[in-house]
Amino acid sequence: MVNDTIDTVNKLQTALLLAEVFVSGLPKFTPYLKFEQRFQEWGLEKGWGENAERCKETLNFLSEVLQAPDPINMEKFFSRVPSIFNIVVFSIHGYFGQEKVLGLPDTGGQVVYILDQVRSMEEELLQRIKLQGLHITPKILVLTRLIPDSKGTKCNVELEPVENTKYSHILRVPFKTEDGKDLRQWVSRFDIYPYLERYAQDASTKILDILEGKPDLIIGNYTDGNLVASLMSSKLGVTQGTIAHALEKTKYEDSDTKWRELDQKYHFSCQFTADMIAMNTTDFIITSTYQEIAGSKEKPGQYEHHYAFTMPGLCRYATGINVFDPKFNIAAPGADQSVYFPFTQKQKRLTALHPQIEELLYSKEDADEHILADRSKPIIFSMARLDKVKNITGLVEWYGQNKKVRDLVNLVVVAGLLNAAQSKDREEIDEINKMHNLIDKYQLKGQIRWIKAQTDRVRNGELYRYIADTKGAFVQPALYEAFGLTVIEAMNCGLPTFATNQGGPAEIIVDGVSGFHINPMNGREAGTKIADFFQKCKEDPGYWNKMSTAGLQRIYECYTWKIYATKVLNMGSMYGFWRTLNKEERVAKQRYLQMFYNLQFRNLVKTVPRVGEQPPRAAATTGAAAERNQIVARPRERKPQGRVQRMMTSLLGPKPPTYEQNGYR
Ligand SMILES: *[C@@H]1O[C@H](CO)[C@@H](O)[C@H](O)[C@H]1NC(C)=O
Ligand SMILES: *[C@@H]1O[C@H](CO)[C@@H](O)[C@H](O)[C@H]1NC(C)=O
Ligand SMILES: *[C@@H]1O[C@H](CO)[C@@H](O)[C@H](O)[C@H]1NC(C)=O
Ligand SMILES: CC(=O)N[C@H]1CO[C@H](CO)[C@@H](O)[C@@H]1O
């Protein structure tokens, strides 16, 4: 944007002033080419904007920053600086692909999330590049593992274009065995550590080759992706962001103090060390909620858990990650709006799917217990995994107990399987049996429809809208919900939503304004709240529309992929700038981290057997391996209560010291 001829702040300020006065006199839409020469005379190069108006704004933002560098001006300016064109996203473990991968071990929501994220970032990049008057082609690479034994997926293909993008690709790089061959089979995310260092080198080489240079931003996902992103960003000197919404440490009870017992199975010693290295190396951390960082009054956040902890006999983190560090940022994901759009968009509605949806909701076949007798009532709807944390059975119980709700609405639940004999998961079997018992106990026949889990995203989108046509509502009764993607989906479809006040939904919904909070531990109160809503809708039909619209408004203001992409690219630009400051401090920290990596992490990695090797200590029994595979296939969400407080009090005393107490500046 600025030529070398401008080498002092004074010269820059003068140039900005001259140029700003000049473009102010031009018609707004005068293209940059028309006055490019004048800009160059003042020492200004391309990148200020595609036309006079845009240039004027950018010039003005920089003038403001030079006069008063407050956060708002900084963000405005850095959102305009075209500093990011090539992005690399690491999501290494599991089967990462666009077809036939969901449900394979270690492969699930993160794939959809990353692909949506990549699409939105590409769109945003293209728009920014155009608005700044540049002609540069961006590139985004999603780096994952190439798995030769690909189980009928494309995970054995090196380069695959990302659907609905122009410049984004999945790049797959294989793991290597010790004698340098490609490792053929899938590796559990818990056993992945011996391969990562080599992978980082091989991946870097490939990336430099394909991008014909360094990327401008590297984003990691999960422990393995974040560690490799850290190695690569340190080596190449590139801005790094990390995402780890599912930090493993918080999911397993006492996983720090009991690390020794668990290590053979999970290798938490490697994992938590890698997490600490990545958190400490990265320039910024992306979370989806505030609670993920610092928790709530009752519960510490995921990252807060990493502030201080001890792994007896291994190490003690006295000040691990400081949750008040400015590297923490919130950028919540959205829902794919081509799938989840409002029920009011009549021309886009997938009416061809209605016969199938009606069959799901009303048919008599293979659901003889659960036929809705009165089809004219609105439907309250819930969709989730059938496990304890999601507490779908809790919802059925509140419904059963609340006569008023039962009179006003039908209940439709999409969850798990209906036949316990078909399930292999112990927790699901318990919940299935509980469901059947509750339906009997409260004599819910005629008022409830229980449908087994549905995986067709497109049809599920239309299902939400179909429920909205009945003037119903979505209910998310989980005991704890880290983010709440279904809440976002329902709200995107215009379905008024009641969601748990434990976790992400507490932030997504403003209670009584854009939806409702319910306390999952107080079914009576939740039932009353739902009954009141439908009573009010009966008396005032405008009320339902009002809540539906308010929910949508909340989404459009805070929870779309577009907003996400804007935020993440702004972070890349802003933290990329901060990197250039405080070099000495950074170098010192980097040395410390390198030492930590070499002396601690590498040794821990040696305790993890490679595929086909015997573990260094006792051999893993078949039983343990089987159990591990089960956990891999279906990770448990953390138990929300009790443990957290116990840990905190046993390790830290009441709460970690605060920002001020620590004397941080
Ligand atoms: C800086 O300006 C001079 C003179 O206009 C030009 O020759 C040179 O290419 C410019 N440098 C850059 C980096 O654009
Ligand atoms: C980085 O690690 C050091 C050593 O554990 C710690 O003192 C510091 O607080 C960490 N900083 C961040 C931002 O994580
Ligand atoms: C589910 O919700 C019910 C009703 O609020 C509650 O009594 C029950 O304890 C919850 N289930 C679990 C597993 O905590
Ligand atoms: C395995 C894992 O933690 N993957 C995470 C990658 O990032 C997405 C989006 O934040 C998370 O949902 C996944 O949990």
Instruction: For residue range 592-614, list pLDDT tens digits in order.
Output: 999 999 999 999 999 999 988 77
User: Which numbered atom of ligand 4 lies nearest the CA of 93?
Assistant: 1
Instruction: For residue range 260-291, list pLDDT tens digits in order.
Output: 999 999 999 999 999 999 999 999 999 999 99
Nearest to 189 by CA among 266, 263, 101: 266
Position 455 confidence tier, pLDDT thresholds 50, 70, 90: confident
User: Which numbered atom of ligand 1 lies nearest the CA of 40?
Assistant: 5
Q: Ligand 2 centre and the CA of 649: distance in Å?
A: 22
Which residue's CA is the closest to the ligand 4 atom numbered 13?
110
Position 624 confidence tier, pLDDT thresholds 50, 70, 90: very low
pLDDT, mean of residues 560-583: 94
Q: Is the CB of 340 under 6 A from ligand 4?
A: no
Q: Is the CB of 3 under 6 A from ligand 1?
A: yes
The ligand placed nearest to the CA atom of residue 600 is 2
Average pLDDT, the chain: 90
pLDDT, mean of residues 547-562: 97
CA 373 → CA 368, 443, 535, distances in Å? 12, 13, 20
Position 367 confidence tier, pLDDT thresholds 50, 70, 90: low
* pLDDT in the model for residue 505: 96
* pLDDT at residue 519 greater than cutoff 90: yes
Which residue's CA is the closest to the ligand 1 atom numbered 5?
40
User: Which numbered atom of ligand 4 lies nearest the CA of 221?
Assistant: 6
Q: Is the CB of 537 under 6 A from ligand 2?
A: no
* pLDDT in the model for residue 186: 95
The ligand placed nearest to the CA atom of residue 401 is 3
pLDDT, mean of residues 463-487: 95
* pLDDT at residue 485 greater than cutoff 80: yes
pTM over 0.95: no
pLDDT, mean of residues 434-448: 94
CA–CA dist 564, 216 (Å, integer):
18
Q: Ligand 3 centre and the CA of 653: distance in Å?
A: 29
Q: Is the CB of 245 under 6 A from ligand 4?
A: yes
Q: Ligand 3 centre and the CA of 638: distance in Å?
A: 15
CA–CA dist 89, 142 (Å, integer):
5
* pLDDT at residue 177 greater than cutoff 60: yes
Q: Is the CB of 320 under 6 A from ligand 3?
A: no
CA angle, 540 as apex, 534 and 541 as ends, to 5°?
80
CA–CA dist 503, 182 (Å, integer):
42
Position 463 confidence tier, pLDDT thresholds 50, 70, 90: very high
Q: Ligand 1 centre and the CA of 312: distance in Å?
A: 60
Q: Please, are residues 225 and 91 in contact by the beta-carbon 8 Å criterion?
A: yes
Position 615 confidence tier, pLDDT thresholds 50, 70, 90: low
* pLDDT in the model for residue 583: 87
Q: Ligand 2 centre and the CA of 319: distance in Å?
A: 6
